[in-house]
Structure 1
Amino acid sequence: MQALILAAGEGKRIKPIITSKPLIPFGGQTLLDRAISNLKTMGINKFLVVVSPKDKDKLKSYPIVVQPEPNGMAGAVLATRSVLVGPTVVVNGDDLIDPKIIQQFYKQINKTPDQIVLTGFKSKKSLSGGYFDGLKIVEKPVKRPSNWLKLVLDYFPKIEKFISVLESTKFDKDDVYEQALNRLNNLSLVKAAGYFQPLKYPWQILEMTQIFLTKCIKPDIDKTAKIFPGSYIINSYVGPNVVIGHNVLVRDSIVESDTVVGYGEIIPGRIKLGAIMARGSQLGVNASVMPGVSLGAKAIVGSGLVLAKSLEAGEFKKN
């Protein structure tokens, strides 16, 4: 059995973050690496990752296929048509799925190895996506037919047969993959229990961080991190080569490698949307950022300013 990992999405909605979502690290491990680690518990040791052209040189550990156009999940699977045959698990590279769900899914595959196995997650909140109506999938319904959200965690005993159906499925919307599934028979559905967190919007980074801190990683300070006197690190992960200045409070947070947190900063880890700062952005001395405001990549805020509106990539806000 092999795994196909979909990691080529554009990620338009997670702006101003410019790192591809599967490559965003949490606790020293990217979402893609974590997905692969979880799939290895099923005995899978062969992986193929579909990536966008901008990431083709960033993945060295696994075979890749480049999806030339951002034409959705269907386009990602079709990009592999010349190389994929046989039993295959298809999974999103930017979802956080409880290993318990993976094991329930694996158990069903062993029980019905000749059937296509789909996975549902009972959603108490309004997560966007497809919802099950029996074994059929209704994508982004106005009224949910059930509380069972479809996860991208699918098993195909012969992926080439699904690819053939996918090639002949034509729809105007972005749900070609789901509509192709709706044309199939011989399906089984795992109604799984556990945690699940998608990553589509910037604020979901906070939700995912909370899950990591409570479910996945232990609070820890890497031995190479430098913490100056007067600082407090509470229930947080601090990665390699981090520098935290004097009189800093870090609470319920993940501070990734090579980050510098300056003098007198407060990182509260509250469950609300604060500032979002993309790679290479800078805040001047005594600058403040209002809640929900974002700084694009390499944007700069001058000293003493209160930033009330978001800055685009490369923009410089000065007095």
Structure 2
Amino acid sequence: MNKIIILAAGASSRFWPLSIQSHKAFYKCGLGKTIIEETVLSLLPLKPQEIDIVVSPKDLEKAKALFKDKNIKIFVQENPTGEGEALLEVFKSNDFKGTFFLTTADKINAGEILKLLEKEKQAIALRITDTPQFFGIASIDKDGNITSIIEKPSIDKASSNHRITSGYLLNSEFIDLLKTVPNSHYSLEEALNIYVKNSLVKGVFVDEIEDVKLKFPWDLLSINKQIQEKKDFKYIDKSAKIAKTAVIEGPVYIGKNVKVMDFVKIVGPVYIAEDSIIGDYCLIRQNVFIDTNVLIGSGSEIKNSIIYKGSSLHRNYIGDSILEEDVKIGAGTVIANRRNDRREIQTLVKEEKVLTGLTSFGAVIGSGSRIGINSSIMPGVKIGQKAHIWPASLILKDVLDNGVFK
């Protein structure tokens, strides 16, 4: 493969209360790497000559720190004006001729997708969907060639149920065409619709590969699970201090200087990064990611959750939830993760109700927030950054950044 291009410069506008400081693909999960690192790692076995990553200005230094290989180049898209404009950043001063693979930074299985696409000269990855109105949709002829592409058609105007899934194997001639299309949020799709009418581009179905999406913050939980359950790991650093009464079962990673106190039970897959403390009588289970310097105080239960750097809690239940950096939760607070009727959990995104596709989903809490003791947070609630929740509060709906609930 001559060139691989990874896009990581979007606005992540549906990711609130996360992604304010970074693009969503720069969040860590799984076994301690960022999502964009996992995507790059999936592609390296294919031995690309060059990998180009397009990021926003706020992530430039992070990207440089993560990727120091001379064959990985970082480009900046100043404003999130669409994937077409992001792609052109790579080719502004580049006379590249040949075939390139284009994907997005959240595609941790991009290597598997590219292997299927490489069987063709040019190809676009497709999946079957029941909701064509939410995706770019491709029509194909009897020989499997794509004949048209339309972005997010209404249900009555959808020409097929074949959705595009951010995997494109194209010739550099496409770039010449893209440069002639007026820039817009969907200029990539508009250019592709023109291109497939004059060039043979196969539609390759990749439904056999597990789908990966990172559109909403709760999608982090799914990606964390996919990474942890696909990788074989069991490691306890020599510097970690594990109480004799602690029980550790299954795939569990325990980093440097971690302290696991008396009568703790950890059931993997679980990742605990360096300098974290798991207090007495805690239960940590089922796809948990605990970042560096996190304090899980005594008597807490953590299930299928992600807790980022510097957060702390004490005698809490945290289920199917995400706590960004430096979140503090007082004793006795519970995050509910199931409706009483066990139906699918809804939440608000940009003031519109969205079905999460989950029957187990707790809360997403932004960095720097403080939750008082004995509070109850209902399923699907999102709490903004640096919010303050008074003690004994019942949180039924979202709390904005810097908000105070009392």
Is the structural similarity TM-score above 0.5?
A: yes
Alignment RMSD (CA, Å)? 2.5
Describe the SS at the equivalent of 1:153. strand
Question: For residues 166 and 75 of structure 1, do their structure 2 counterparts lie closer, same or farther at Cα, with a shift above 3 Å needed?
Answer: same
AA aligned opposite 2:63: L
Question: For residues 151 and 212 of structure 1, do their structure 2 counterparts lie closer, same or farther at Cα, with a shift above 3 Å needed?
Answer: same
2: CA distance between counterparts of 1:68 and 1:296? 26
Structure 1 residues 26-105: aligned runs within 5 Å: 26-27=29-30, 28-60=32-64, 61=67, 62-84=72-94, 85-86=96-97, 87-97=99-109, 99-105=111-117
Question: For residues 20 and 259 of structure 1, do their structure 2 counterparts lie closer, same or farther at Cα, with a shift above 3 Å needed?
Answer: same
Verify the 8 A CA contact 2:178 2:187 in the aligned structure 1: yes
1: CA distance between counterparts of 2:192 and 2:230? 32
Question: For residues 127 and 174 of structure 1, do their structure 2 counterparts lie closer, same or farther at Cα, with a shift above 3 Å needed?
Answer: same
Verify the 8 A CA contact 2:4 2:52 in the aligned structure 1: yes
Residue 24 (structure 1) aligned with residue 27 (structure 2): yes
Corresponding residue for 2:167?
153
Describe the SS at the equivalent of 1:58. helix
Question: For residues 204 and 94 of structure 1, do their structure 2 counterparts lie closer, same or farther at Cα, with a shift above 3 Å needed?
Answer: same
Corresponding residue for 1:231?
282
Describe the SS at the equivalent of 1:197. coil
2: CA distance between counterparts of 1:21 and 1:90? 18
Aligned-pair distance for 1:255?
4.0
Verify the 8 A CA contact 1:236 1:253 in the aligned structure 2: yes
AA aligned opposite 1:25: K
Q: How many residues are treated as equivalent by the alignment?
A: 308
Verify the 8 A CA contact 1:38 1:102 in the aligned structure 2: no
Q: 2:314 aligns with which of 260, 263, 267?
A: 263
Corresponding residue for 2:186?
175
Aligned-pair distance for 1:217?
6.8
Aligned-pair distance for 1:259?
4.7
Describe the SS at the equivalent of 2:62. coil
Normalising by the residue count of structure 1, what TM-score does the alignment of the two structures yield? 0.86
- Higher mean C-alpha deviation, range 242-251 or range 67-76: 242-251
Structure 1 residues 182-221: aligned runs within 5 Å: 182-184=193-195, 185-192=199-206, 193-215=208-230, 219-221=251-253
Question: For residues 102 and 261 of structure 1, do their structure 2 counterparts lie closer, same or farther at Cα, with a shift above 3 Å needed?
Answer: farther
Aligned-pair distance for 1:32?
0.8
Question: For residues 215 and 145 of structure 1, do their structure 2 counterparts lie closer, same or farther at Cα, with a shift above 3 Å needed?
Answer: farther
Name which structure has the greater RCO, CA cutoff 8 Å, separation 6+: 1
- Higher mean C-alpha deviation, range 211-220 or range 300-309: 211-220
Question: For residues 58 and 37 of structure 1, do their structure 2 counterparts lie closer, same or farther at Cα, with a shift above 3 Å needed?
Answer: same
1: CA distance between counterparts of 2:232 and 2:38? 12
1: CA distance between counterparts of 2:311 and 2:93? 44
- Higher mean C-alpha deviation, range 280-289 or range 209-218: 209-218
Q: 1:165 aligns with which of 177, 182, 187?
A: 177
AA aligned opposite 1:116: Q
2: CA distance between counterparts of 1:78 and 1:103? 24
Deviations 1:184-234 (A, max 9, x none): 212122211211122112232333344334445764242334222211122
Residue 140 (structure 1) aligned with residue 152 (structure 2): yes
1: CA distance between counterparts of 2:50 and 2:311? 38
Corresponding residue for 2:268?
none
Describe the SS at the equivalent of 1:247. coil
Q: 1:119 aligns with which of 125, 129, 137?
A: 125
Normalising by the residue count of structure 2, what TM-score does the alignment of the two structures yield? 0.69
Q: Any stretches of 5+ residues in structure 1 without a counterpart?
A: none
2: CA distance between counterparts of 1:254 and 1:45? 35
Describe the SS at the equivalent of 2:189. helix
Corresponding residue for 2:351?
none
- Higher mean C-alpha deviation, range 16-25 or range 304-313: 304-313
Q: Any stretches of 5+ residues in structure 2 without a counterpart?
A: 141-145, 234-250, 259-275, 321-336, 338-357
1: CA distance between counterparts of 2:138 and 2:39? 24
Aligned-pair distance for 1:10?
0.4
Describe the SS at the equivalent of 2:14. helix
Describe the SS at the equivalent of 2:4. strand
1: CA distance between counterparts of 2:130 and 2:62? 36
